[in-house]
Amino acid sequence: MNTSSGISKITTLATVALMALVLSTQAGWKPGTTLPDLSKFQLEGNIPANLSGKVILIDFWASWCGPCKASFPVLNDLQNDYASKGLLVIAVNQDKTPALMTAFLEEHTVSFLTLRDANNLLVEAADVQSMPSSFIVDRSGKIRFVHTGFHGEKSTAQYKEEIEKLLNEKEGGKK
């Protein structure tokens, strides 16, 4: 094998490996995907040390998003109604500056956890394409339901049904 063909093969292999890496990171979160360790994404805010055994609703939002504004009272009600049964709502903001998030939260007081993804690392890992996007995670850490957008009463009913289903399951997906 001559040097140029060896370099060509290495370049081809490197390109294929890079493409596979890019495609795997763009795959995003789907039902059955394990929720990654949130502490690895440089999120601003206090991430609970142990999320194990919780049903988690992760909602990606931005201050400029009208449907996000409409969803916040619903997310707040869900947190208040189901927290004692094991639900944790986490809202992940993707605004460029903290001031935008702070101003939004001053107008929309909430009882759920809010974090900011300043570098969009978690947004990219989840492959969030629109605001809001929500992922509901079961007690064993598997994403079970995915929602794109917020559709008022329809979304509210779906959230409740899915959350109640997961809260009634033991860790591992069985009653």
Q: Which residues are catalytic?
A: 65, 68
Please report, as a single letter, which amino acid is at residue 6.
G
Distances (CA, A) of 137 to 28, 45, 49, 78: 14, 20, 16, 14
The distance in angstroms from the start CA to the end CA of the chain is: 61
Q: Compute the distance between CA of residue 168 and CA of residue 70 in angstroms, rounded to an integer.
A: 28
Distances (CA, A) of 67 to 71, 80, 84: 6, 20, 27
* 161, two tokens: 């049904």
